[in-house]
């Protein structure tokens, strides 16, 4: 069974990472606040990235990894800049302040 991993940008500009087998239904739950938890107090939310995986296990594994990543690494994923991930993983990396 296929599953999705997704990143939402919340009203407070934080990111939420989730996993689901029904992306449309889950986005509706987040949008109307019925999913509860983190996003329900940070509405509105906007989906900024999603990716389909071949299995729930594969998606759940990637979601767990992604949740531990820095904001800079998540933003590289959102931009589709996967080539930048090794640099962002380097010890001592400090993001540019804008």
pLDDT in tens, 52-70: 999 999 999 999 999 999 9
Find out whether 5 and 50 touch, Cβ atoms under 8 Å: yes
Residue 6 CB neighbour total at 10 angstroms: 22
Which of 82, 76, 75, 94 is CA-nearest to residue 9? 75
Convert the pLDDT of each residue in 83-98 to its tens digit. Answer: 888 888 866 555 555 5
pTM of the model: 0.88
Per domain, the residue ranges of the chain are: 3-69
Query: What's the topology of domain 3-69?
Result: GIY-YIG endonuclease (3.40.1440)
pLDDT given for residue 89 in this prediction = 82
Task: Kindly provide the residue ranges of all beta strands, DSSP E only, lying in the chain, ordered along the sequence.
Answer: 3-9, 15-20, 46-53
34: left (phi over 0), alpha (psi -120 to 50) or beta: alpha
Average pLDDT, the chain: 91
Whether pLDDT at 81 is above 60: yes
Whether pLDDT at 5 is above 90: yes
């Amino acid at each position: 069974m296929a599953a999705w991993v997704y990143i939402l940008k919340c009203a407070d500009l934080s990111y939420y990472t989730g996993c689901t087998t029904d992306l449309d239904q889950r986005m509706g739950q987040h949008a109307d606040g019925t999913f509860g938890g983190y996003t329900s107090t940070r509405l509105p939310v906007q989906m900024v990235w999603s990716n389909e995986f071949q299995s729930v296990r594969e998606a759940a594994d990637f979601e767990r990894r992604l949740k531990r990543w820095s904001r800079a690494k998540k933003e590289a994923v959102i931009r589709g800049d996967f080539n930048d991930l090794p640099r962002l993983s380097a010890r001592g990396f400090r993001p540019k302040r804008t």
